[in-house]
Amino acid sequence: MPHSNLKEAAAKVLQKEKYLGEVKVVEKNKKKTLSCYLLYKDNVPTIEHIQRISKPGRRVYKGADELRPTLGGYGITIISTSKGVMTGLEAKKKKLGGEVVCEVW
């Protein structure tokens, strides 16, 4: 997929949370692309669903006190905060709010 800093940061969060395997930035002819390798558990992909929350036409922001567990704690929410891109749980622990990028389970 085409590279952007937000996509790379979100992929790193998914890699840290064991949803993705290897994440590589490949540069060809001065164009960067992002290569992500999906992990499988018993021949089933670890990512069943990704739902984009914020869109260019409608940004969604939440404070630290408004962040709730995704799918009863079985999924993660990716938040873009002033301290970087992180999971909703990390943002809540650090008492940070921000833009809700997506939910993954």
Q: Are 100 and 61 in contact (CB under 8 A)?
A: yes
* Residue where the block lists tokens 């969604």: 60
Query: What is the tens place of the pLDDT at every residue in 55-73?
Result: 999 999 999 999 999 999 9
CA nearest to 13, candidates 83, 97, 61: 83
Domain boundaries, the chain: 5-104
**Domain 5-104 is in which class?**
alpha beta
For residue 75, what pLDDT band results from cuts at 50, 70 and 90? very high
Integer Cα distance of 86 and 80 in angstroms:
7
What does pTM read for this prediction?
0.92
Query: What is the tens place of the pLDDT at every residue in 23-64?
Result: 999 999 999 999 999 999 999 999 999 999 999 999 999 999
Give the amino acid at 24. K
